[in-house]
Structure 1
Amino acid sequence: MPYATGLALQEQLFNEALPRKRELEPARHALISLTHTPVITMGKHADPHNILFSKDVLTERGVELHHTSRGGDVTYHGPGQLTVYPIIDLEDLGIGVKKYVWSLEEAVMKLLAEYGFRNTTRIEGASGVWVPGERSYDKVCAVGIYCSKYITMHGLALNVDLDTSIYNLINPCGFTDKGVTTMERLLSSSLPPMEDIEKRLIELLAQEWGISRIELATF
């Protein structure tokens, strides 16, 4: 799905949630799960120097460029990556923003552990899920969110089996001393189907938030 289309879906759900909250109506938690066509996104604090090639080169490679309201720096979305955008009311769930980010990371760490890889970690000051790499640490899942009135947008991007050479176009998340990896590389057993990974990750997220009902939009 093109990034602009996915963003429009998020904004629609976000804009529906805000008036419900003002009118004190029951919260409706939603989640969009999809795979984007190739795109580099720049968070609101992104440094343009972390995009290492011109827009013309990106276009030649079939990669779009979008500015976005999420936190963080520069990252990539594309085929072989599972992107999850929760549109949820943190106040209704009784959790703060820091704990919410922690819950996104925790669900991914539990998912990888269930599939046999338990050597995941967090890095202070760098959101996402990391694993020990050749130079330093490699990121297997990026996390970047936006939150207003305790309603969330954006979310996580889990590298399942994407071609990581595309990251040579950028300094991922602004880092020059850290790399990226995929579930396919980390798992000693065969990689489960994307649909199975998606289903289980959504279940684990719902468990982290303590909710039994969530509206799903998967693509």
Structure 2
Amino acid sequence: MTTTYSACASPAAEAQPAAGAAPAIAGQNHRVLVQRLGRVDYQPAWELQEQLLAETLALKTQNRLAAEAGQPLAATLNHLLLCEHPPVYTLGKSGKPEHLLLDEAGLAQHGATFHRINRGGDITFHGPGQLVGYPIFDLDNFFTDIHRYLRLLEEAVILTLADYNLRAGRIVGLTGVWLDFEEGAPNPRKICALGVKCSRWVTMHGFALNVNTDLSYFGHIVPCGITDKAVTSLEHELGHAVPLTEVQEHLLPHLATLFAADLISVSP
């Protein structure tokens, strides 16, 4: 079964992209292939991202050579991987190893693993009950602005939380999505972390939204290197668990609208 989320609800809407959406440009591919991987170990998910990234970069190289030879170009693909992971801590390129507060024995005691990875940012936690999204987008298909890309990912999460009557937003200088984000608010709480890599305008890594996450795991790190702010989840804020699949179905239409994209579900 194929499910499509389109930014265009009607022919009239097709001519008028939503505010903040990426404008359609001739030759760009705004289709996004969505794979729901379920619960998957971190390493194979990372390897799949690397594979899709390499395929896209290879096609971009072929297109550059074809353009020089006056030959037709092939459209690059865009992918979105949705999953959750067993307990794992990941440390970005700019992160500090001391922000992991567990040694190997402590990791084993908590059933967690640890990976140094090639995204930006510091250390974070992934685990069951967390909705993780890995967009492998060729931004040449949308816009070549990594800051705008990050802000649209954040906005999709902000709109998803609004569907649950939670007012979320951004804190200046801190990537991610927060509750009690206004300046001077007494208890700012991070509910979604972001960290990406971009190679020749092709992205990988992405966002991690705490839905029913066991927040005790964050007590064993300095999350994203931030020492003075808390971490929260949708379950903690609402007082009850929320199915990850339900949150996905709220999130995907917002991504489709913001990126002016057609999201097409495909088998993993």
TM-score by length of 1: 0.93
> What are the ranges of 5 or more consecutive residues in structure 1 without an aligned counterpart?
none
Q: Which amino acid aligns with 1:153?
A: M
Aligned residues with identical type, % of pairs:
39
Distance in 1 separating the partners of 2:263 and 2:188:
36
Asked if structure 2 preserves the Cα contact closer than 8 Å seen for 1:32 and 1:217, the reply is: no
Secondary structure of 1:23's counterpart equals: helix
1:181-218 deviation per Cα after TM superposition (whole angstroms, max 9, x unaligned): 00112237x55421121122122112211111456566
Residue 18 (str. 1) matches residue 57 (str. 2): yes
In the alignment, which of 28, 41, 47 is matched to residue 8 of structure 1?
47
Query: Offset at 1:50?
Result: 0.7
Residue 201 (str. 1) matches residue 251 (str. 2): yes
Secondary structure of 1:46's counterpart equals: coil
Distance in 2 separating the partners of 1:44 and 1:215:
32
Distance in 2 separating the partners of 1:51 and 1:172:
9
User: Following superposition of structure 1 onto structure 2, how do residues 129-144 of structure 1 map, counting pairs within 5 Å?
Assistant: 129-132=177-180, 136-144=187-195
User: Following superposition of structure 1 onto structure 2, how do residues 1-219 of structure 1 map, counting pairs within 5 Å?
Assistant: 1-24=40-63, 25-118=74-167, 120-132=168-180, 136-187=187-238, 191-214=241-264, 216=266
Secondary structure of 2:77's counterpart equals: coil
Larger Rg: 2
Asked if structure 2 preserves the Cα contact closer than 8 Å seen for 1:164 and 1:181, the reply is: yes
Secondary structure of 2:82's counterpart equals: strand
Distance 1:198 1:26, change over 3 A: same
1:94-146 deviation per Cα after TM superposition (whole angstroms, max 9, x unaligned): 2410000001100000001012112x121122100011289641100000000
Structure with the greater relative contact order (CA < 8 A, sep ≥ 6): 1 or 2?
A: 2
TM-score by length of 2: 0.76
Distance 1:73 1:27, change over 3 A: same
Runs of 4+ with deviation above 6 angstroms: none
Secondary structure of 1:207's counterpart equals: helix
Distance 1:115 1:136, change over 3 A: closer
C-alpha RMSD over aligned residues: 1.8
Aligned length: 216
